[in-house]
Amino acid sequence: MGTTASQLGKDLLSEYQELTFLTKQEILLAYKRFSELLGKDEKDVLHERVPMDRILTLPELKSNPFRKRICYVFSTSDSKNGSLTFEDFLDLLSAFSDSATMEIKSHYAFRIFDFDDDGTLDCGDLEKLVNCLTGETDETKLTAEEMRQLISNILEESDIDKDGTVNLSEFQHVISRSPDFVSSFKIVL
Amino acid sequence: RHREKRVDGDIVRRKRGNERRKGASRAEEGESQTRPERIDRGRRKRTRSHQDTKGSEGDEEVQPKIQSGRAAKTRKHTKNEKTRKKEEEEKAEKGEGKERHGKRKKTSASKKEREEVGGKHTMKEKAQEVKRKKHMKVPSEEDDIDEEVDEEEEVRPESLSSEELEKLKEAVDERKKLIQALRGKPWPIKKKCVILRESQEFVEKYEGALGKGKGRKLYAYKVLMSKKWMKFQRDFENFKTACIPWEMKIKEIESHFGSSVASYFIFLRWMYGINMILFCLTFGLVMVPEALMGRPYGTIPRKTVPRAEATSAMDFAVLWDFGGYAQYSVLFYGYYNNQRAVGWLKFRMPLSYFLVGVGTVAYSYMVVIRTMARNANESGVGDDNSFNFNWRMFTSWDYLIGNPETADNKFASITTSFKEAILEEQESQKDDNIHLTRFLRVLANFLVLCCLAGSGYLIYFVVRRSQKFALDGLENHTWWERNEVNMVMSLLGMFCPMLFDVISALENYHPRVALQWQLGRIFALFLGNLYTFIIALMDEINLKREEENIIKFNITVWEASLFNGTVSVNSTAPPVTIEPADVPRGPCWETMVGQEFVRLIISDTMTTYITLLIGDFLRAVLVRFLNYCWCWDLEAGFPSYSEFDVSGNVLGLIFNQGMIWMGAFYAPCLPALNVLRLHVSMYLQCWAVMCCNVPQERVFKASGSNNFYMAMLLVILFLSTLPAIYTIVTIPPSFDCGPFSGKQRMFDVIQETLESDFPAWFGKVFSYASNPGLVLPFMLLMVPILHFCTLRWFLKSCNDLFYILFKQNEENKKKNKLAALKAQMDLEEARKGSSRTAQQQKNSPSLQDQESEAFYYIENKKKIKRKIECKNVI
């Protein structure tokens, strides 16, 4: 513990505490887990990028149907490959942490659900989302008719401006009334 | 010319920046308002090149402001957004310095004007940019050089006028606010880091410049202290999280079984905390003082084992029943002496005993209600059905699930919930035989009622029988006969829920409804059992009191005979010394009640642990190892592994707590026992759940029912304090045991204290205040106040809506103004016809969106108003 703390630097640590919803212990734990993800030859934990497939080996993300989306959303990489730096990783944990606000959570949730990154949830996004939620197997998949019905119901409820898509404000409006979004939108290391 | 324009731009930009920072919390909303616009822009950009889209929302949000700054300065740059941002921040500082030196005479009016000009520039710039981008991207870097030409000037705070100081102070405060709000921004950490460092630098640099003479020192001191305080708070927060016990254990369970199973353990931990405090209260204020400062064991009859029991007092069987030495110890009510003050501290023992008893209940009420209120606040308005599908869609995944098996179950349950929802929506599936279902449901409820009545009668019968046994003397009976009551209660608690489960299969309810019915029935069962037990106990108390009267009479006879005897034998002997063990004594019903509760808790705990070991562990072992040599697949087939029954366990915990509250007054050791039990439970159940349970087939989310459990706890708390208070208030205490012996009622101890320890006027005031003539009007007053409080709660939520409405109105106005500006600009510059249509397109959907949203809020508000009216009518 002591060694990781000294590696991370006291100033940096307090800065991270200032900027994220994480406590000191959580940041140090994240640091530990992240440096475990890095290979042996990569010593520079703070600036190294970890490719997405290695991030996805984390047990916390392994069985999440949105794991790839999560990586893409939090990645700051230029080549859009979903690789994360330590800071991106902290961002991720902060958004999914216990004390993050509803706004932050819903914002990132929206971006995770927005599969084509166009800023709205259109029918394609919703369809992909349903497929993610029902799993890959055939027996759990919805039929085309069910899917159509479901999506039209969803839009009917939440699409206030009737433009056929759900935008961020509509999304946040819906989410903020949900009783258990905040408690389930959580990933803890 | 160029330079001046640039400065103007800076001011404008700063002003806007301030505006942005002021509403740190508002930023989100503002962002969501401008969203469609941004999206539009984003889309266009994306089609052109991918590089531009990489900016996050935050980047895009800042963009217009940056542009306004840049508009005044130079109109030829296109830059990648990150460098632009940095540049902007640099400029903020420069502008600060410059403004102070060059532009002292600027009035706010002229600034406003300039802002508008700046705004126009922005529009132009935007349009131009868009146009330019359409053609190609010119990566021009020369503006960086342009930037660096400006040398940063030194700040000389002495030369500042008060007005500028004020401005500076404002700027510093805004920076500080920005720093605080930074963690709530959805930006990548790198950007936040840059802004943070930059802002901190700024604050540090100019903070010293604020204030003059003495004021400055004070200000610096204040700043220093606030920094220290912040650091301390953060450290304290870290410390607090480090102190939460079992965090890792719970987290592990959470990732394996999802949040519902974990919620049980969190609830358990919460209970543990409460019991810890109850334990500290009773232990520190009742048990320890009596043990240390009260009369030691063996000095008076109530503190001695009677002669008849002395031989067996140390036997394990007796101690296990909490008889013998255990009965005559601080663990039970009867041991306490009625001496008014004990020890050199003059500790008021009986008063302390009474107040701790009351305090335990009061504290529990407070904690439960407060937690409920907090939960209600957090969850908000949760139970409207208007977003049924959306919630299923967007919030049904439990991100904590880290176990593939649980994930598979979750997939399946989400799919079924989708299908169910669709079916419900279509309503194509009408009940084909509604009469049959109705009949079956009525039948099921009838059966359940029979079960409840049967179990109630069984308990009553058993308790009465045990009284008969007790009168005969316990030694003549077998172990079963002695422990019959507790065993029967535990067994009923174990098997009846299973029976209910079978019966509920008849009803064919939706699983969630079925779960609620099941919970309600178990609740009724437990409650019925508990109350039958209490009623039987009441009978016993009455019996004991009759016995007490007889014994009281006998004692006077015995004392007289003793006196006479000694006198007749030897008149010169010293006063007779009778061993305390030989003194005849009353039955002490309070200790009896305490003992019953302690036994109940013990047997309950034992049954829980044994069911855990047999039902979960043994089953898991058998299934696991017999599977090698069995004719069908045990793991997948019939016995399988057991699931963790969240609701049953929570109910068990709640009832256990209810018994603690009921019995704690007569057995101060109960909270300690409960702490022990919960502690062991935590480890045992954590282990059991990880090693021998499988994730639930239907993964329910827990948080929704969180307050449901709390409400049950509150009901139980109320129901369990009722009998305790009833006995305290109506039944006179035993004459020869306990801290209140010799008094007419237990609460007389308060009056006694008032009379002897407080000045006379205080007692008088108190007696007036406790007059029913005063209490009644007071209670009448309380009702409207409570009513008002609930009303205010409603109003608060109303106010939130008003606030949102107001916000949106404002935003709308701003938008309109902007739109007007745009239109004006477009008229002026007719050649940009193409950009104009683009702007309008941008604007219209967002406006529409807001309008409809505002409309929605109004609707909502009406609903709440109606609610309030209903309340008022009630």
Task: From B587, B550, B598, B562, select the one nearest B306 (Cα to Cα).
Answer: B587
Q: How many beta carbons lie within 10 A of that of residue B85, not counting itself?
A: 22
Average pLDDT of the residues in A89-100? 87
Among residues B204, B193, B195, B205, the alpha carbon closest in space to that of B85 is found at B195
Of residues A28 and A39, more confidently modeled: A28
Least confident of B73-82, B747-756, B819-828: B73-82
**In three state form, how does the secondary structure of B72-118 look?**
HHCCCCCCCHHHHHHHHHHHHHHHHHHHHHHCCCCCHHHHHHHHHHH
pLDDT for the residue numbered B434: 75
- Are the CB atoms for B174 and B22 separated by under 8 Å? yes
- Tell which A residues from 36 to 95 touch B, by Cβ distance under 8 Å: 59-66, 74, 76, 78, 80, 87-88, 90-91, 94-95
Does the CB of A173 have a partner CB in chain B at under 8 Å? Answer: yes
pLDDT band for B684, please (50, 70, 90 cuts): very high
Q: Is the pLDDT of residue A140 over 70?
A: no
Report residue B17's pLDDT band, with 50, 70 and 90 as the boundaries. Answer: very low
Please report the ipTM that was assigned to this predicted complex.
Answer: 0.86
Closest CA to B698 of B449, B505, B504, B512: B512
Confidence band of B706 (pLDDT split at 50, 70, 90) = low
What distance in Å separates the CA atoms of residue B358 and residue B344, rounded to the nearest whole number? 25
The residue among A62, A169, A171, A172 with the most chain B CBs within 10 A of its CB, best to mutate, is A169
Other beta carbons within 10 Å of B368: 19
Whether residue B454 is predicted with pLDDT greater than 80 in this model: the reply is: yes
Average pLDDT, chain B: 72
C-alpha B746/C-alpha B497 separation (Å) is: 39
Tell me the per-residue pLDDT of B350-392, one tens digit each, with 9 for 90 and over: 999 999 999 999 999 999 888 888 777 665 544 556 677 787 7
Q: Report how far apart the first and last C-alpha atoms of chain B are (Å, whole number).
A: 72
Residue of A160, A181, A183 lying closest to B849 (CB–CB): A160
Neighbouring residues of B787: CB distance < 8 A, sequence distance ≥ 6: B871
- Angle, CA of B835, B822 and B35, to the nearest 5°: 80
Distance set, CA B650 to CA B264, B279, B308, B401 (Å)? 6, 21, 43, 21
Residue with more model confidence, B566 or B527: B527
The answer, yes or no, to whether residue B797 has pLDDT greater than 90, is no
> Over 80: is that where the pLDDT of B329 sits?
yes
Q: Say if A101 is an interface residue toward chain B (CB within 8 Å).
A: yes
CB nearest to A23's CB, from B53, B184, B238: B238
Residue B100 — very low, low, confident or very high, per pLDDT cuts 50/70/90? very low
One-character DSSP codes across B463-483 = HHHHHHHHHH-GGGS-HHHHS
- Whether residue A184 and residue B398 make contact (CB cut-off 8 A), yes or no, is yes
- A174 with B853: Cβ contact below 8 A: no
Instruction: Return the structure tokens found at B207.
Output: 């903070």
Sorting pLDDT into bands at 50, 70 and 90, what band is B800? low
> What residues contact residue B694 under an 8 Å CB cut-off, 6+ apart?
B405, B640, B641, B642, B643
Hey, which residues 407-436 in chain B have their CB within 8 Å of chain A?
A: 407-408, 411-412, 414-415, 418-419, 421-422, 425-426
| pLDDT the model gives residue A41 | 66
**What is the C-alpha to C-alpha distance for residues B459 and B481, in angstroms, rounded to an integer?**
13
Of the two residues B482 and B264, the one the predictor is more confident about is B264
Q: Which candidate, B381, B365, B242, places its Cα nearest to that of B861?
A: B381
Task: State the average pLDDT over residues B480-495.
Answer: 79
Q: Are B86 and B194 in contact (CB under 8 A)?
A: yes
Contacts of range B237-246, beta carbons closer than 8 Å, 24 or more positions apart = B237/A23, B238/A23, B238/A24, B238/A25, B241/A23, B241/A25, B241/A26, B242/A25, B245/B269, B245/B272, B246/B682, B246/B686
Distance CA B155, CA B643 (A): 70
Residue B28 CA to residue B26 CA, distance in Å, equals 5
Q: Indicate whether B624 pLDDT > 50.
A: yes
Phi, psi (degrees; rounded to nearest 5) at A120? -135, 160
Provide the pLDDT for residue B126.
Answer: 44
- How far is CA B623 from its chain centroid? 39
For chain A, the farthest-separated pair of C-alpha atoms sits apart, in whole angstroms, at: 58
Q: Give the span between the Cα atoms of B286 and B336, in whole angstroms.
A: 9
Please tell me the predicted confidence (pLDDT) of residue B353. Answer: 92
Contact B591, B737 (CB under 8 A): yes
Which pTM was predicted? 0.68
Distance from CA of B529 to the nearest CA of A (A): 34
Alpha-carbon span B221 to B207, nearest angstrom = 11
